Structure 1
Amino acid sequence: MNSPEKIDVIASMPELDKMLFKLLEGLSAEDWERQTIAPKWKVKDIAVHLLDGNLRTLSMLRDNYYGEKASTINSYQDLIDFLNQLNADWVTAAKRLSPKVIIDLLKLSGKEYCDFLATLNPDDKADFSVAWAGENESKNWFHIAREYTEKWHHQQQIRLALGEEKVLLKEKWYLPYLDTSVRALPHHYRNVEGTAKDLVKFTFFAATEKSWFLRYDNGWELFTSVNEIPTSEVKIRNEDAWKIFTKGMTREEAIASSEIIGNKRLGEKIFDMIAVMA
């Protein structure tokens, strides 16, 4: 059996940004107002949300300036509510920005953002844990990988609205997204009853397939390969997986478009997993 390894996406972050800049520079005025899969956000709203991510990271983690702080955070939901309000406030204020200003600011802040992440020691403790994976403390490499998933899935939301989503489903870009997101599986399955050596295989497929495994032994543990027959296998299309993990499709839609072989109770749990702060 092999366990998941550290994820290194530092070199990919600037490239992913450049793809976004090129995409945005080719948009018409109507394109900027297209509705995205995120119910409350159009293309422009997601672009300014990405800008906010750059600026907040630089302000908090590089400059140690936290600005607005929550008055009380007593639960995970309190944190989600606080972040949602921050996001909504920013998107509302940014409606006065032109597309050109947004692109220019994304380019400027994006370089500084990527340069800053490259200075972090991957094995040092991150300032923020990856809460959706159940971690109270995370290493920088996982924090950076989480940042990659944020940039990946928000750019994909824009691309989906424009009919340009296939490029980010190429393995070079999609595999790091999946590899990071599935790290939430053990935490997500923590309350699912299992028996010794129960094994759930998750296969994501398009032109090629990639699989991860959850094995039960007094708790669920994630592996990249095992030499055992799975109790349950879940087959999910690549074009659906990211939507499942970001609340982009309903549980019922996800189950209908996927396949479960074997134990359905164990397999179906993945369809309400979320790998974002939402």
Structure 2
Amino acid sequence: MKAPEIVPIETLHLFPILDELLIELLKSLTEEEWNAKTVCKKWTVKDIASHLLDGNLRGLSISRDHFFGENPEDINSYDDLVAFLNQLNMTWTNATKRLSPTVLINLLETTGKQYSEHLQTLNPFENAIFSVAWAGEVTSLNWFHIAREYTEKFLHQQQIRDAIGKQALLTTTLFYPFIHTFMQALPHVYANVKAEKGTIVSIIVTTEIGSQWSIIKEDENWKLITSFEADPTAIVKISPEDAWLLFSKGITPSEAKEKVEIIGDKKLGEIALNMVSVMA
């Protein structure tokens, strides 16, 4: 397996590919498939397609046009932010139930192209308009914000494909940047975990489309590392099919315990199963 690439994580070139695959998929759906239940228990396939449209529209409005619309009030914690976003998502999907699949597809085609073009204009090393909060960052650079947007598009399309049994996005080209971005949350999930300095924890996502990600305990913090000499104290092995679900709350840590292999310190390794790389 290849070693994790050096940041910045490059994803801009993949947005048009994902969008093209999405439109092709949505145009093929039957009425029954549009209404199929998904791993997002409150959402159908059509609801997720609508949510993807919301992502394009809000991204353009806020980042390109500097129009925020609904400004959050009393956001004093991560939980407050998640609650605010959940409310935005609910009101949007409820309102767009009146839109036909054809209208959704047409809007996704138009806005997807515009959003990709806008992201191309951002300086990857300038501060992003929003931080990647699930990675524990207060301020993030644009390259990370863009990679986070890529994971959103990948994840929600994967949820649609999972619901209707269509070919998944689990290829090296598309999956690796997705899971590599998700793994940037690994130090954050261990932030309050006490361990001896030099302790190493590794996650291995199996098969040729996966890789290995490792963190090491320093004086105060945990840090992602790409090479090390000591043996990891804990190694967690998980399949790509389980990884995208687990780290997006599609399955619970308890369910994941039955699917993963943990080598070494099991309690230390099990903490990784609580990593959530979405705002949830």
User: CA contact under 8 A between 1:153 and 1:242: conserved in structure 2?
Assistant: yes
Instruction: Note if 1:201 corresponds to 2:167.
Output: no
User: CA contact under 8 A between 1:123 and 1:139: conserved in structure 2?
Assistant: yes
Structure 2 unaligned spans of 5+:
none
* Distance across 2 between alignment mates of 1:135 and 1:171: 27
Q: How many residues align?
A: 277
Aligned residue number for residue 262 of structure 1: 264
RMSD of Structure 2 on Structure 1 (CA): 1.3
Aligned residue number for residue 183 of structure 2: 182
Q: AA paired with 2:183?
A: V
Aligned residue number for residue 279 of structure 2: 277
Distance 1:28 1:81, change over 3 A: same
**What does 1:1-278 align with in structure 2 at a 5 Å threshold?**
4-166=6-168, 168-218=169-219, 219-278=221-280
* Distance across 2 between alignment mates of 1:45 and 1:3: 34
- Spell out, residue by residue over 1:235-255, the C-alpha distance to the aligned partner (whole angstroms, 9 max, x if none): 011100011111100111111
User: CA contact under 8 A between 2:4 and 2:212: conserved in structure 1?
Assistant: no
Distance 1:208 1:132, change over 3 A: closer
Q: AA paired with 1:147?
A: E
TM-score by length of 1: 0.97
* Distance across 2 between alignment mates of 1:54 and 1:208: 28
* Distance across 2 between alignment mates of 1:172 and 1:228: 31
Instruction: State the Cα distance separating 1:5 from its structure 2 match.
Output: 2.1
Structure 1 unaligned spans of 5+:
none
Q: Percent identity?
A: 49
Instruction: State the Cα distance separating 1:163 from its structure 2 match.
Output: 0.8
Runs of 4+ off more than 6 Å: none
* Distance across 2 between alignment mates of 1:5 and 1:71: 34
Q: AA paired with 2:205?
A: F
Distance 1:216 1:155, change over 3 A: same
Instruction: State the Cα distance separating 1:71 from its structure 2 match.
Output: 2.3
TM-score by length of 2: 0.96
Distance 1:128 1:208, change over 3 A: closer
